């Protein structure tokens, strides 16, 4: 989550689709031009020049019209500079796309509109936040398992969970969760993405701000192969250089057994090759690689938290940002899973948090349509990662990331809560 200008941008959308002619493809030239204009806008804002800031943000938005953060900047700055027409126009773009801005944006815009127009927008924003879907809570992990991130399941229906603050991997037994692996014992720091393959558990690890005892740049990051029955660590693949500018985040195993992991900070995708992590995909345009999944026809897709979805070509090593319909944003996707013939995304970088079904074009070069499977489903915090099982799609529904400060300390006035594990109904 990014907080710039003190504003957080919130997004929702209903089932949407677009013809190929309506597809927006963000080029690298457009991205770089937008970033440059945005940086100038932020600089002008900090200097107190709202008019200049608005001009730069308009330029940035022109290059990246699907970016909700930039649209929020424009709506807010237009309102603050008494440009009521532009402020209302941007706000109505939010409403038309199912987008819900933060309270500060809504208030600033409403103050520039007449009572009827402000009321109309308020009603549309409220409608965009109404619950969709009825996911069921299947487990409640106790509050002493703090900041749950990862989830995996074996062929027998046994579930495993990884935690960031508690630093353990837990197996869900008949009597409840049992810790089978301790991060501190192996200097892993915290656990993140997990997957089970041929009876073995593969879990990514790193030390980050929320890891107890974290010291910037220290620790290691990589992947551990763990025996899920005994908890024994059988093999470790770690990146050289520790955690300075790199953090292995998520993992997937393809139909032919290839193991890929994403580096959220180092902006790469690695493949396990022998006893090393080989950089399989690197692109200057990667923002924050997160979830990664393979479709039934062999397309490898990676979620970039700040840019959307990338198609990764295993034959050529080329990474291509996918096109999206003009009225859809795929920013803020964390988990990405292929389930029951569908690409399922957990989008926690928007509000309300959502579970999406994403349908790709035939050649997987773009997104054909997006449907919201669930939103506004829990008050516990962010959904993170999910797992496909024969019984359905399960996901960590409330990881409580916003509750924890550096070192894994709960923020003042906040109490840890149980973590709900939900199943899509």
Examine the domain organization and report whether 86 and 147 are in the same domain.
no
Examine the domain organization and report whether 103 and 216 are in the same domain.
no
Give the pLDDT of residue 8. 35
Does the structure show a pLDDT above 50 at 359? Answer: yes
Examine the domain organization and report whether 395 and 367 are in the same domain.
yes
The domain boundary residue, chosen from 68, 100, 128: 128
Tell me the per-residue pLDDT of 94-106, one tens digit each, with 9 for 90 and over: 777 777 888 999 9
Give the pLDDT of residue 13. 40
Examine the domain organization and report whether 44 and 82 are in the same domain.
yes
In angstroms, rounded to a whole number, what is the distance separating the alpha carbons of residues 207 and 185? 14
Tell me the per-residue pLDDT of 18-51, one tens digit each, with 9 for 90 and over: 444 478 899 999 999 999 999 999 999 999 999 9
Examine the domain organization and report whether 298 and 154 are in the same domain.
yes
Examine the domain organization and report whether 121 and 165 are in the same domain.
no
Among 97-106, 153-162, 415-424, whose mean pLDDT is lowest? 97-106
Give the pLDDT of residue 20. 42
Tell me the per-residue pLDDT of 261-274, one tens digit each, with 9 for 90 and over: 999 999 999 999 99
Examine the domain organization and report whether 200 and 170 are in the same domain.
yes
Strand 419-423 relative to strand 392-396, pairing = antiparallel
Examine the domain organization and report whether 29 and 74 are in the same domain.
yes
Does the structure show a pLDDT above 50 at 424? Answer: yes
Examine the domain organization and report whether 186 and 102 are in the same domain.
no
User: Is the overall model pTM greater than 0.75, yes or no?
Assistant: yes
Both tokens of 221, joined, read 């990051």
Give the pLDDT of residue 12. 37
List, edge to edge, every strand of the sheet that includes 168-173. Answer: 148-153, 159-163, 168-173, 176-182
Angle at 231 between CA 227 and CA 234, to 5 degrees: 50
In the beta sheet, which residues pair with residue 11?
Answer: 99
Does the structure show a pLDDT above 60 at 11? Answer: no
Both tokens of 372, joined, read 């919201």
Give the pLDDT of residue 316. 94
What's the number of domains the chain is made of?
A: 2
Look-up of token digits 């013809």:
19
Position 7 in a domain: no
End-to-end Cα, the chain, rounded Å: 28
Examine the domain organization and report whether 169 and 106 are in the same domain.
no
Tell me the per-residue pLDDT of 212-241, one tens digit each, with 9 for 90 and over: 999 888 899 999 999 999 999 999 999 999
Give the pLDDT of residue 18. 41
CATH code for the domain of 392 = 2.120.10.30
Listed residue (81, 57, 77, 78) closest to 67, CA to CA: 57
Examine the domain organization and report whether 154 and 98 are in the same domain.
no
Give the pLDDT of residue 413. 95
The domain boundary residue, chosen from 128, 153, 184: 128
- In the predicted model, what is the mean pLDDT of the chain? 92
Position 4 in a domain: no
In angstroms, rounded to a whole number, what is the distance separating the alpha carbons of residues 10 and 354? 11
Among 5-19, 89-103, 173-187, whose mean pLDDT is lowest? 5-19
What share of the chain has pLDDT > 70, as a percent? Answer: 95
Does the structure show a pLDDT above 50 at 6? Answer: no
CATH code for the domain of 31 = 1.25.40.10
pLDDT tier, 17 (very low <50, low <70, confident <90, very high otherwise): very low
Position 9 in a domain: no
Examine the domain organization and report whether 115 and 207 are in the same domain.
no
pLDDT tier, 351 (very low <50, low <70, confident <90, very high otherwise): confident
Give the pLDDT of residue 208. 96
Domain extent at residue 113:
16-128
Instruction: Supply φ then ψ for residue 119, to 5 degrees.
Output: -65, -40
Give the pLDDT of residue 251. 98
Position 316 in a domain: yes
The domain boundary residue, chosen from 100, 128, 156: 128
Position 6 in a domain: no
Position 365 in a domain: yes
């Amino acid at each position: 989550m990014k907080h710039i200008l003190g504003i957080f941008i919130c997004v929702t959308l209903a089932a949407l689709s677009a013809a190929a002619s309506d597809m927006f493809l963000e080029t690298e030239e457009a991205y770089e031009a937008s970033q440059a204009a945005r940086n100038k806008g932020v600089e002008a804002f900090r200097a107190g020049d709202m008019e200049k800031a608005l001009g730069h943000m308009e330029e940035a938005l022109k290059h990246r019209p699907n970016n909700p953060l930039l649209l929020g900047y424009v709506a807010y700055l237009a309102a603050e500079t008494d440009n009521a027409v532009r402020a209302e126009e941007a706000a109505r773009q939010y409403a038309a796309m199912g987008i819900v801005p933060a309270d500060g944006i809504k208030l600033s815009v409403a103050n520039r509109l007449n009572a009827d127009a402000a009321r109309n927008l308020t009603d549309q924003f409220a409608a965009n936040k109404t619950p969709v879907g009825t996911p069921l809570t299947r487990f409640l992990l106790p509050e002493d398992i703090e900041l749950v991130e990862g989830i995996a399941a074996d062929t027998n229906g046994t579930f495993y969970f990884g935690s960031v603050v508690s630093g353990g991997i837990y197996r869900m037994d008949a009597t409840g969760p049992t810790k089978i692996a301790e991060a501190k014992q192996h200097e892993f720091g915290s656990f993140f993405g997990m997957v089970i393959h041929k009876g073995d558990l593969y879990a990514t690890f790193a030390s980050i701000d929320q890891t107890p005892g974290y010291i910037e740049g220290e620790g290691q990051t990589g992947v551990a192969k763990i025996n899920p029955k005994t908890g024994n660590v059988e093999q470790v693949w770690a990146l050289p250089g520790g955690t300075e500018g790199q953090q292995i985040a998520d993992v997937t195993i393809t139909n032919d057994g290839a193991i890929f992991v994403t580096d959220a900070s180092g902006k790469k995708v690695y493949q396990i090759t022998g006893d090393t992590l080989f950089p399989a995909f690197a692109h200057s345009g990667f923002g924050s690689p997160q979830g990664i999944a393979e479709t039934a026809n062999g397309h490898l897709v990676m979620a970039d938290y700040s840019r959307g979805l990338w198609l990764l070509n295993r034959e050529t090593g080329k990474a291509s940002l996918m096109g999206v319909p003009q009225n859809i944003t795929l920013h803020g996707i964390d988990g990405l899973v292929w389930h029951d013939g569908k690409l399922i995304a957990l989008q926690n970088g928007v509000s309300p948090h959502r579970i999406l079904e994403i349908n790709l074009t035939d050649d997987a070069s773009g997104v054909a349509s997006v449907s919201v499977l669930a939103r506004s489903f829990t008050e516990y915090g962010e959904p993170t990662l999910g797992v496909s099982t024969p019984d359905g799609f399960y996901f960590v529904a409330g990881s409580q990331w916003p509750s924890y400060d550096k070192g894994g300390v709960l923020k003042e006035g906040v109490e840890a809560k149980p973590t709900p594990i939900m199943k899509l109904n």
